[in-house]
Amino acid sequence: GESVGLHLPTLSVQEGDNSIINCAYSNSASDYFIWYKQESGKGPQFIIDIRSNMDKRQGQRVTVLLNKTVKHLSLQIAATQPGDSAVYFCAEISGNTPLVFGKGTRLSVIA
C-alpha cells in the first residue's frame, strides 16, 4: 500500500544551526502534508502544514517545502534551539481517509 516514509531516523544539530528533516511520500493524491513534533512523554503536536497545490510555506522559524515531482517533503528549522529536540513526524491526508504518519526522525540539538 501507499505510505509515508523518512530518509533519516536521527539527526544531530548544533544549537543555532539550521535543521532539515526530510520525508518521502508515495500518495500523489494527498491533499495536505503536515509536520508534527513529539516531545518525550507527550502526544504529537501540529507544527505546520502545506496544501498539495503549494510548494513552500513559512511559519515561525519553520519552513515546509513540497516537491511533488520527486514526492519529497522537508521541514526546515532555523536557528535550532534545545527546545526543538524531539521526534518529528511527517503525515499526509487525502479527502476523508485517515491521516497517515511517517516513521519519525529524532532531532537532537547539541548545546
Partner 1 sequence: GAGVSQSPSNKVTEKGKDVELRCDPISGHTALYWYRQSLGQGLEFLIYFQGNSAPDKSGLPSDRFSAERTGGSVSTLTIQRTQQEDSAVYLCASAGGTGGYEKLFFGSGTQLSVL
| Structure-block grid coordinates of residue 89 | 513526524
Q: Does 73 bind partner 1 (CB under 8 A)?
A: no
Among 20, 79, 99, 110, contact with partner 1 (rule: CB under 8 A):
99
Element (H, E) at 74: strand 72-77
Tell the smallest beta-carbon distance from residue 97 to partner 1 (Å): 8
| Structure-block grid coordinates of residue 22 | 526530510
Nearest to 69 by CA among 20, 35, 36, 25: 25
Q: Does 19 bind partner 1 (CB under 8 A)?
A: no
Q: Which residues bind partner 1 (CB under 8 A)?
A: 31-32, 34, 36, 41-46, 49, 89, 91, 93, 96-104
